[in-house]
Amino acid sequence: MKGTLYVVATPLGNLGDLTYRAVELLKVVPVVAAEDTRRTRQLLNHIEAHPRLISFHAHSNQSRLDEIVAELERGRDVALVSDAGTPVVSDPGAELVAEVRRRGCRVIPIPGLTAVATALSASGLTADRYLFLGFIPRKGKERSQLLERAARDHWSVVFYEAPNRLADLLSDLEHVAGPDRQVVVARELTKMHEEIRTGTLAELAGFYSAHEARGEITVILAGSAEPAAPPAVTVDIEQRATELLSGGVSRKDTVQRLVEESGLPRNEVYRRVMDLPR
């Protein structure tokens, strides 16, 4: 029998948040694929678990993915963990999960924390529906399009951001959404220096321009007063993609150009381009 891939959520910072189910699984699974083996080793030592650790992160090559799949096909279970929170949610792992499913192996989630839900629960903003954008590009047309969409959206919008780019994100959001829009900055969730700061975009953009942010950061932008109108799409994705591909443009570059031309989400454009005959 083939092994099972377990997608295991781990604590954001407080080790006491690891679920009983995750502890039991990590103590018996023979292999753990970890985004950062040093950080995961600390967690495993805390619960006295000693599986074989394999490094698997956003820059891992195909041979590492093949190594993990080979373990599963030999009948050995594998647990996938990220640095913190739930794997695949703005973390590596989607490609591995897709390949494991294609090979006919089981994939079982072991749920737990994610910074998205944790921040939303303490934000005071509407969370029955929300838009999650994760880490957006640092610059360029795609960043502008995502910021404009966030400003228009009727739902709360969640971002992840690096500390050194937080002030820029808040300033850019202030420009497109206005200075009075409510925003929440959740920093170092579940850790010793946890901080959840609320205010207007003008207030928090000013604060973080004057005060250096540190740690893991989640930003929640309050929804707009009016529902967002769907973007006008005038590009025939399949026809345009066929033209670009026949002209010698790679599929990767074709996806990028169509995202810019259409304003559609990258994952939708990627799927439609990849579904075209090769």
pLDDT exceeds 90 at position 116: yes
Q: What percent of the chain has pLDDT over 90?
A: 79
What is the count of structural domains for the chain?
3
Examine residue 226 and state whether it is found in any structural domain, yes or no.
no
SS3 59: coil
Give dist(CA 171, CA 202) in Å, integer: 8
Examine residue 232 and state whether it is found in any structural domain, yes or no.
no
For 163-225, the DSSP string reads GGGHHHHHHHHHHHH-TT-EEEEEESTTSTT-EEEEEEHHHHHHHHHHS---S-EEEEEPPPS
Examine residue 70 and state whether it is found in any structural domain, yes or no.
yes
Contact 126, 188 (CB under 8 A): no
pLDDT in tens, 31-50: 999 999 999 999 999 999 99
Same domain, 89 and 187: no
pLDDT exceeds 90 at position 188: yes
Q: How many CB atoms lie within 10 A of CB 23?
A: 15
251 vs 28 pLDDT, higher one: 28
Reported as a pLDDT band with limits 50, 70 and 90, residue 259 is: confident
Same domain, 55 and 106: yes
Give dist(CA 249, CA 254) in Å, integer: 6
Same domain, 109 and 9: yes
* Average pLDDT of the residues in 170-176: 97
Last residue of some domain: 61, 84, 113?
113
Examine residue 168 and state whether it is found in any structural domain, yes or no.
yes
Q: What percent of the chain has pLDDT over 70?
A: 97
Examine residue 109 and state whether it is found in any structural domain, yes or no.
yes
**What's the mean per-residue pLDDT of the chain?**
93
Examine residue 185 and state whether it is found in any structural domain, yes or no.
yes
Examine residue 253 and state whether it is found in any structural domain, yes or no.
yes
The CATH number assigned to the domain holding 82 equals: 3.40.1010.10
Range of the domain at 261: 237-274
* Average pLDDT of the residues in 68-78: 97
Q: How many CB atoms lie within 10 A of CB 246?
A: 8
Same domain, 170 and 188: yes
Last residue of some domain: 113, 145, 171?
113
Same domain, 123 and 55: no
pLDDT exceeds 80 at position 132: yes
Ramachandran region, residue 230 (left: φ > 0; alpha: ψ -120 to 50; beta: rest): beta
Last residue of some domain: 113, 138, 156?
113
pLDDT exceeds 90 at position 136: yes
- The pLDDT value given to residue 225: 78
Same domain, 103 and 183: no
Give the orientation angle of helix 251-262 with respect to helix 266-274, to 10 degrees: 130
The CATH number assigned to the domain holding 201 equals: 3.30.950.10
Examine residue 231 and state whether it is found in any structural domain, yes or no.
no
Contact 95, 48 (CB under 8 A): no
Structure token pair of residue 123: 């934000």
- Tell whether pTM > 0.85: no
pLDDT exceeds 80 at position 154: yes
- The pLDDT value given to residue 278: 73
- The pLDDT value given to residue 270: 86
* Average pLDDT of the residues in 170-191: 97
pLDDT in tens, 139-152: 999 999 999 999 99
pLDDT in tens, 190-242: 999 999 999 999 999 999 999 999 999 999 999 997 554 555 556 788 888 99
